[in-house]
Each structure stands twice: as structure tokens, then as C-alpha cells.
Structure 1
Amino acid sequence: MNDAARKLAPLAKDQAEQHYREAPNNLEAEQALLGAILVNNDAFYRVSDFLKPVHLYEPLHRRIFEITGEIIRMGKTANPVTVKTFLKADEKVGDLTVAQYLARLAAEAVSIINAEDYGRAIYDLALRRSLITIGEDMVNIAYDAPLDMPPQSQIEDAERRLFELAETGRYDGGFQSFNDAVALAIDMAGQAFERDGHLSGISTGIHSLDGKMGGLQRSDLIILAGRPGMGKTSLATNIAYNIAAAYEPEVQPDGSFKAKNGGVVGFYSLEMSSEQLATRIISEQTEVSSSKIRRGDISEADFEKLVACSQMMQKVPLYIDQTGGISIAQLAARARRLKRQRGLDVLVVDYIQLMTGSKKSGENRVQEITEITTGLKALGKELNVPIIALSQLSRAVESREDKRPQLSDLRESGSIEQDADVVLFVFREEYYVKNMEPRDEFDPKYEEWKMQMEKVKGTADVIIAKQRHGPTGTVKLAFQSEFTRFSDLADPSFTQYEH
């Protein structure tokens, strides 16, 4: 061996040792926990709410934990004798058979008191292994620099995986047992019973709308559409502010906060600036016309009202992002960040047609809108929040005799209609009747127009054209255009009707 080779040999050995590092694990903690469960099945319930089989490092331990969990949930006793029948008899653990290994685990079990501590240690190590996987993937992708994954999308992908890991402790998704799904459904019913108004979702603050929809359901994509001038931004702003103003946090056992009523709202205002949006909300709350606020045509009393209202509004958890032309990937990354830092219960996007897709070459606008709506639907499920996305309607409405919107009027409609869980149309007949005013007030038709105007003045229809978990139909609301405010009608003669 020459000198150079002699010098390189120990270096190569050191590097080999450095490169081989075993993933973090603690087999003794896994054995101690399984032993405690086999001796006293109550130990399982101390860890079952956070520890899943996938969190254990040793494949055999995963299977034992999964089998014991299933046996215990069925109300039967899990011990070495009952568990061994579900494992391969000829499987070996060193010199021991599986049956002997189970008996050894139970014989050497320590106190059940430490079960939760062992469970936490195993869970933390599983998170560390997941972090290592994400980190290794990041490094490998960054080295390879694939053409279809520029650095920005790599950052967004890493951020998404880290967020999922932070939220749920796992990022692999996969199937969920029906038991877990049933438990979640019962929890939701219990929360609805305890919440104000007994709603399964988050209240919009407009009772007649809540009555039809049961509030805004988590993970739903709610499309709110209308022609310009119908007030869709006003309705979305009203709902967003109502939810944020009703926010009532509740401390969870792990120290985090969850909304008991109302919620934290993220508002993507792609069309209006945050000041314009704030002016609308102040106008609605103080009943001082927004045009007067903009012109400064206000009295001292009005100004005092504005100041008092702004002080109250500063405590409201409503966060506005006014970046124009934002892409679905950027929107998702910012929403995850908001949820992580401040919490998030409802997301509003004003409006879909102002967003951009990933702009793959040769992609037309319909494909781009499809990517956006599919992305919003996936984001709602990932963050477990309802997303209200506003949408334009095509001009086809204007050429019809009956101006009421239909699902086919949604611009680039296929994907919007398909991905939405709920489609709401805002329709104000007053807007169209007003434009039909005869020029001559002595015209015989003037009285007829006046009567029609009186009938529709100050009202708006919210048409529920599609709803996955409830009836379709129309809700009549009051609309005060000077304050851009939608509210419940005081007159009980206006009833909701279904179709």
C-alpha cells in the first residue's frame, strides 16, 4: 500500500462511519410500553389518542401494537395468549418464538404509570425520523435540480410537508379506520350541540342563511358568485367580519387554542386594497356611508363613531392579504403559515378569476381555473377549514329575460361547479329594476315600475344552487346598499323557499 492510500484509508473509514447513522429509535421504550399494555389494557388508552402503530420503529412492535389496539377496542382482553394467535407462529425474534417474546414482554413489564411517558418518547422519535426523511428529500431534490421542480415549488412542497407534520404528527395520509371516522362524526355532533345556535359548522352571523346551511362546514369549498354590482364582496366581507367578531377561544388540553364560537379569518383581497376593505367594514358597523367616509363628508359624532369602531375592530382576528395575482401555491403556503402562527378557522378568496395557476406551457384558462379550484378544495381539506371563494359569472345572465343566475353561468364553470361543496349566488332584483326606470315620470308604466321597485327595494336573494349536505333553495335577506350590509329580514312575511 502506497503512502497516499495509507493516509486515505482511515479517512474513508471515518467517512463510512459518519455516513451510516441509524435513525433515532428506542426499542426498550417500545418493549416497555407493549409490556405495560399486555399486563394492563388500561395503559393502551393512555397513549391511543396520539400514538399510532406507524410511530413504532420495529415492524413486529407495530403489528403487536395494532393487534392489541383492535382487541381492546372490541372490548376483549389483550394478553400474550390472545395476541399470539394473530401473529405468525414460526416468526423468530432472535432465539425466541413470537409467543415466547410476548410472554417476555409481559413478564418484564414495568408500572403502567410510565406508559404515557414511553408513548411520548416513541412519538417524538417518530417525528424526528419524519423530519430526517423530509430533510433528506429536500437535500436530494436540491442536488438533482429536476426541471419540473424549480426551487420555489420545492420550498412550497417542503413547507406543506412540514406543516402536515406539525399539525398531525404524520405526513403520509393513508386510510383511516371507520372507527376513527365514526368517532369524529360523533365529536362534530357534540360540538354542534354545545355551540351557539346548535350549528354543525361556523355561524355566518346571518341566521336565515345558517338555517339552510348549518353554518360553514370544515373543509368545504363554498363558491359565492354573482354579476358585478350584486354585492358578493359585501356578503363575503359581512360573513368574514361576523365570524371574526364572534371569535371565542377555548384552551385545549395541550395548551393550544380552538374556536368555541366564531373563528380566526384569513381574507385574500385580490381586487380591493386592505384599506378599502376596512372602510367597507367600518361603514357596515357604524352605519356611516362608505362614500361619505371616503369624501370626508362626516360630522364630529360620525367621526367619534368611526374611532370607537376602529378601536373595537383592532381586537378582531381578521387578517387581510392584498397581493394581486397570487398563485394557488403561494396562497396555500401563506395560509399554512397563518394557521401555524395565529390560527385559522375560515379562509376567504376574493376572487378566483384574479388568481393564477402554475402557468404550464400551453395551458388554457379553463385548465388554469381547474387547477385553482382543485387546489382550493385540497387546501380546505388539508387545513380543515371552510374556504369561501368568490367567482365571476358569465355575461349570459344579462341576455336572458330572467336574470336569476344558474350553475351554467359560472365562468369556466365545469371545474368550479364540480369541485364546490356549496354554490351560492347573490342576486339583487332591485339592481335590474332600478335600471328599467321609465325616463318620463308621466309614462303610464311609471306607476307599475314604482310598485315593482317598492316590492324589491332593500332586499337580496342568496340562491343556494348546490349543497352537498343540505337542501337547495333561496334565502331572502335585507341589503342596505349605503352601508354594504346584508342582514336577516325583519319582516316575517318573506319566507325561505326550497326547490
Structure 2
Amino acid sequence: MLKKKFLKNFYSVYSEQYILASLILYNNSWNDIYYFLNIDNFFFKNHKIIFSIILEFLNLNVSFDIYSIFNRIKIYSNFNFLNYLNYIVQKTPNPYNIIYYAHIIHNMFLLRKILIFSNNIINNILKSDKLNINEILFNIELDIFDILRNYLKEKNDSYLLSSIFNKYFLNTNFSKNFYISTGFKNLDNILKKINGGDLIIIAGRPSMGKTSLSLNIAKNVSNEYNLPVIIFSMEMSSNQILIKILSCILNENQDFINKTLNSELLNNFDKKYLKIIYSLKIFIDETTNLNVIQIYTKCKFLIKEHGPLGLIVIDYLQLMYSTNPGQNRVLEISEISRSLKCLAKELNVPIIAISQLNRNLESRNNKRPVISDLRESGSIEQDADIVLFIYRDEIYDSENLLNKNIAELIVGKHRNGPTGTANLYFFDNKSKFSDF
């Protein structure tokens, strides 16, 4: 543990006194700093005690002053709190700079956390007999994520209705910056457009085309909006994803591409297809056993290098790992889906997460999925903005030619609009969806 002398440049006695005195003199000044300041931000024990009592009064919506605080606080120790409270109040005549000093306290707290966790990394490496690099990196990611989460609290995410109105109607680039189309008219007629920050669940039984649909949307988004798209493929290799995307673009069977994928085929490509392939900003990450923190870190690096993302695809949700392993799997899935929704909002990027369905539906006469069929669903249906099921009747009735190549996209949940069913053509051997 770092000794206090190493932290001497990373706390401010005056700033902490200023905040406490301002809150005592003007209780309502709490409204300016409530969204990021908490007890842990204070360095000195007595300041934490005073602040905890102030929070008690604030939570009860009760006015307070020096004496009401002292009456609650005198049970803690023999320290002369009354004299000290009088002292800090007298040296702080007004609260007009309370936001400035609150930021100082909060930033000092974050710097102390960085120092402490950096010191812990060094100590753990030096003391460990067997170095597990994966475990070390995972713990570093957890600590960084925690610090970033605390830092992001400083942003005031409340906006006046009129400013949102102006942003919505007067910004000519609003649609491009905040919405994406799936690229399929029949589906867009129901969904209209997908918002940045939306969590979209694409679910279905095996072989229904879940991965293909997500890749089709990813291709459309990258091609239409010229934005980077990242696909986290925990089941398929990057080569398999490549074949599916090529098959869709070239309108050729995957078997044909697999057999002829060589430099000669490349030379025979139509230039318009080559232009599409090289223009797509699609990144594929085939890391297995990912958790939300790792996805967050990878996305932040990608944003830093290539700018804002257009879409994140996760294939698939049940292959992800919780940051709190060991608990009930349903609770783990609930934590993952909730974290993915938070990640989508934080990055202002829509996330498509592919999900498996319970096999129980196979015993029903009508095998079209419903929300309750989500496998290990936990709170997926609550966290998701859109739940989209893929159903192909030809999987169950292959002799009926009327069902051939028809995919029903069932919108089972739509937080911001209607539900319904969009019919598309699906050519399985080409991994390609298209409008009627």
C-alpha cells in the first residue's frame, strides 16, 4: 500500500473544507455537484464523517446547519467538530466556486486511484512466483474501467428540452450521426431507423441465419455510412466471416468461393466488387471468451484510431463471460446484457448481440419464437431496445416450395415503435438477405 507521504500532492485540504462549508451555508448548492461527488472522493477521515452526515440530511430533504450536524456527529470521536465546523464556515463566505473545487477533489481522488492501482500492479508482479499475464491484464482492465466510470460521472448528462429540440430539428447531419438503416426496406418500415445507443438482440434457433443477417446489416452500415464496424466473432474464425461476407457481396455460393479463393480469383474479380470490398471498414475480432470490459477497451482503441463507430456486432451473447464469474448463469447473462446496453449508450453506437433460443419451442406446433424463448434470458428482454427473431419455415417443412428462401424477421420487442413481421429472401448458401 502506498504511504500517505507519496500522496501528499494529490489532495487539497482547502478544497474539501470549501465544499463542506458551502453545503452547510447553502444546502441547495448540492444540486450543482451531486452527479459526481461522493464520500470516497474525500481524503481526510473527519471530512468523510462530516460529508456522510450532510448526505443523511440531504437524502431526508431536511435543512441543516452547523449545530444539527454537530448533534449527529459528536458520537463519532473526541475530536472537537464544533470548533472545526465554525472555522471552515468562517473562512468560506460563499459557494459560487463549488463546482470548481468539487472537480479538484474528484480529480485528486482519481489520481490517487491511478497511483494505488499502478503500485499494486508492480507489487503483484514482483511478489508473484508464477506470472499469469492474462490474469494481470484482466485486473488492469477492471481497474481502468472503474477509473473511467468514475471519471465519466463528471459529465452532466442532463439537457434542457429546448436544446434537445434544436439538436434534433436544426442539425442537418442529425440523421447521419445518430441513426442507421438496416439496409432492408421491409425491416426498416417497422424499425424506421436504429438509434445510436440501441441494444438489438437477433435471436433464433440454429441455422436460421442469425450471423448472416448481422453481417448483412454490418456490410450495409459500413457501405452506406462509411463508418467503421467491428464484429466480435467468438464462434467463427475471421476466415469464415470473410467467406460469408464475400459470398454475400459476390452473390456466389460459399462452396465456390472456398474452392476458388486464390490470387487467380482475385485477378478475375469485377472491379466494382473489389471497390466495395476494399472500401468496407469492417473489423473482425475472433477473440474467444470476451467480457464487456474487453469489448469496451477494444472499441475505445478502434475509435481512437478510426473515429466513431457505426455498429458493434457480438456473435454471440451466450459465449461472453461475466466480470463476476461463479454466480448463477442467468444472473451472469443479465449482467452482460445490462452492461452491453450501458456500453451502447456510453459509445452512442448501436450494438447487435446474437442470442440463442431455448430448444423448448421445438415441441410446439407453432415454432415461431416469442420473447420467453430467449435462452438463459435473464433480463435480456428488459435491456434490449429491439428483439428480432429469425424464423424460416423451410427448416421444418422442406417439401413446401412456397417457403423456400423465405425468412420471417419477427420484431418481438420495439421500445420506440411498433412490432411486426418483415419477410425477406434468404439464400443460405450465399449468406445473403434481400428485400422481396
Correspondence for 2:429: 482
Deviation at 1:153, TM superposition (A): 4.8
Q: Name the CA shift for 1:214/1:127 in 2 (closer, same or farther; >3 Å).
A: farther
Correspondence for 1:355: 320
How far apart, in 1, do the equivalents of 2:262 and 2:122 lie? 62
Does the 8 Å CA contact 1:192/1:200 hold for their aligned counterparts? no
Q: Name the CA shift for 1:364/1:339 in 2 (closer, same or farther; >3 Å).
A: same
Secondary structure, in 3 states, of the residue corresponding to 2:379? helix
% identical equivalent positions: 35
Query: 1:384 pairs with 348, 351, 374, which one?
Result: 348
Deviation at 1:383, TM superposition (A): 1.4
The normalised TM-score by structure 1 is: 0.60
How far apart, in 1, do the equivalents of 2:138 and 2:329 lie? 21
Letter in 1 for 2:333: I
Query: 2:396 pairs with 412, 418, 432, which one?
Result: 432
How far apart, in 2, do the equivalents of 1:222 and 1:399 lie? 27
Is structure 2 residue 97 aligned with structure 1 residue 132? no
How far apart, in 2, do the equivalents of 1:337 and 1:299 lie? 32
Q: Deviations over 1:121-176 (max 9, x none)?
A: 99x9999757635523534765898xxxx7545422443366669xxxx5225764
Letter in 1 for 2:181: S
Correspondence for 1:187: 167
Secondary structure, in 3 states, of the residue corresponding to 2:408? strand
Correspondence for 1:205: 183
Q: Name the CA shift for 1:162/1:488 in 2 (closer, same or farther; >3 Å).
A: farther
- For structure 1, which segment, 264-273 or 477-486, has the greater mean C-alpha deviation from structure 2 after superposition? 477-486
Larger relative contact order (CA 8 Å, sep ≥ 6) = 2
Correspondence for 1:68: none
Is structure 2 residue 290 aligned with structure 1 residue 326? yes
Secondary structure, in 3 states, of the residue corresponding to 2:304? helix
Correspondence for 2:144: 159
Q: Name the CA shift for 1:218/1:126 in 2 (closer, same or farther; >3 Å).
A: farther
Query: 1:227 pairs with 205, 215, 219, which one?
Result: 205
Q: Deviations over 1:187-238 (max 9, x none)?
A: 2454587647xx9621121122222212221111110001111101100000
How far apart, in 2, do the equivalents of 1:224 and 1:476 lie? 15
Secondary structure, in 3 states, of the residue corresponding to 2:396? helix
Q: Deviations over 1:439-490 (max 9, x none)?
A: xxxxxxxxxx4xxx2x32232111100011110111111222332111221x
Q: Name the CA shift for 1:354/1:18 in 2 (closer, same or farther; >3 Å).
A: closer
Q: Name the CA shift for 1:475/1:155 in 2 (closer, same or farther; >3 Å).
A: same
How far apart, in 2, do the equivalents of 1:135 and 1:53 lie? 18
List alignment gaps of at least 5 residues for structure 2.
16-34, 38-88, 125-134
Correspondence for 2:53: none
Q: Name the CA shift for 1:307/1:408 in 2 (closer, same or farther; >3 Å).
A: same
Query: 1:217 pairs with 190, 195, 200, which one?
Result: 195
How far apart, in 2, do the equivalents of 1:125 and 1:218 lie? 32
Correspondence for 1:117: none
How far apart, in 1, do the equivalents of 2:369 and 2:36 lie? 51
Correspondence for 1:239: 217
How far apart, in 1, do the equivalents of 2:376 and 2:138 lie? 26
Secondary structure, in 3 states, of the residue corresponding to 2:363? coil
Letter in 2 for 1:460: A
Correspondence for 2:43: none
Query: 2:239 pairs with 275, 281, 286, which one?
Result: 275
Letter in 1 for 2:316: Y
Correspondence for 1:57: none
Q: Deviations over 1:330-373 (max 9, x none)?
A: 22222222222223231100001111223533x23212212221
Matches within 5 A, 1:401-416: 401-416=365-380
Q: Name the CA shift for 1:155/1:271 in 2 (closer, same or farther; >3 Å).
A: same
Query: 1:340 pairs with 300, 304, 307, which one?
Result: 304
How far apart, in 1, do the equivalents of 2:300 and 2:91 lie? 44
Q: Name the CA shift for 1:139/1:480 in 2 (closer, same or farther; >3 Å).
A: closer
Is structure 2 residue 290 aligned with structure 1 residue 309? no
How far apart, in 2, do the equivalents of 1:381 and 1:177 lie? 14
Correspondence for 1:456: 403
Structure showing greater Rg:
1
Aligned length, in residue pairs: 353
Does the 8 Å CA contact 2:142/2:293 hold for their aligned counterparts? no
How far apart, in 1, do the equivalents of 2:362 and 2:315 lie? 22
Letter in 2 for 1:346: L
Secondary structure, in 3 states, of the residue corresponding to 2:353? strand
Letter in 2 for 1:214: K
Letter in 1 for 2:9: R
The normalised TM-score by structure 2 is: 0.68
Letter in 2 for 1:358: T
Is structure 2 residue 6 aligned with structure 1 residue 21? no
How far apart, in 2, do the equivalents of 1:364 and 1:16 lie? 40
Does the 8 Å CA contact 1:201/1:214 hold for their aligned counterparts? no
Correspondence for 2:360: 396
Secondary structure, in 3 states, of the residue corresponding to 1:314? helix
Secondary structure, in 3 states, of the residue corresponding to 1:413? coil
How far apart, in 1, do the equivalents of 2:334 and 2:5 lie? 50
Does the 8 Å CA contact 1:223/1:389 hold for their aligned counterparts? yes
Does the 8 Å CA contact 1:221/1:386 hold for their aligned counterparts? yes
Q: Name the CA shift for 1:160/1:399 in 2 (closer, same or farther; >3 Å).
A: same
How far apart, in 2, do the equivalents of 1:460 and 1:265 lie? 25
Letter in 2 for 1:353: Q
Does the 8 Å CA contact 1:188/1:200 hold for their aligned counterparts? no
Secondary structure, in 3 states, of the residue corresponding to 2:194? coil
Q: Name the CA shift for 1:430/1:156 in 2 (closer, same or farther; >3 Å).
A: same
How far apart, in 2, do the equivalents of 1:302 and 1:335 lie? 31
How far apart, in 2, do the equivalents of 1:266 and 1:297 lie? 24
List alignment gaps of at least 5 residues for structure 1.
1-14, 28-51, 55-90, 103-120, 249-262, 438-448, 490-499
